[in-house]
Amino acid sequence: MTLADVASKSGVSDATVLRFCRSIGYQRWLEFKIELAQSLPHPSEQLLDEISEEDPAEVLAKKVFQSSIQALNDTSAVLDAGEFKKALTLISEAETIVIIGVGTSGPIAQEMYNRLFRLGLHCRVQTDSYLQVMEAALLTPQDVVIVISQSGDSTDPIRATATAKEQGCAVIAVTGNRGSALTEYADVLLLSVSHESRIESMSSRIAQYALTHALFVGLMMKDLDGAVDKDRLIWDAVMDQPFFQNKDI
Strand intervals (E) in the chain = 97-100, 123-126, 144-148, 170-175, 188-191
Q: What is the pLDDT of residue 2?
A: 72
Domains of the chain and CATH, by start: 1-39 (no CATH), 76-234 (3.40.50.10490)
For the chain, the average pLDDT equals 86
Could you tell me which residues come within 8 angstroms of residue 68 by beta carbon, excluding any fewer than 6 positions away? 202, 203, 206
- Residue numbers in the chain where pLDDT is lower than 70: 37-51, 195-201, 243-249
Q: What is the pLDDT of residue 171?
A: 96
Q: What is the pLDDT of residue 50?
A: 64
Q: What is the pLDDT of residue 204?
A: 83
Closest residue by Cα to residue 1 from 27, 41, 33: 33
CA-atom Rg of the chain in angstroms: 20
Q: What is the pLDDT of residue 94?
A: 96
Q: What is the pLDDT of residue 41?
A: 57
What residue type is 83 in one-letter code? E
Residue 152 zone, left/alpha/beta (φ > 0; ψ -120 to 50; rest): left
Torsion (CA) 217, 223, 224, 225 in degrees, nearest 10: -160
DSSP letters along 25-88, please? T-SSHHHHHHHHHHT-SSGGGGT-TT--TT--HHHHHHHHHHHHHHHHHHHHHH--HHHHHHHH
- pTM above the 0.95 mark? no
Q: What is the pLDDT of residue 45?
A: 46
Q: What is the pLDDT of residue 46?
A: 45
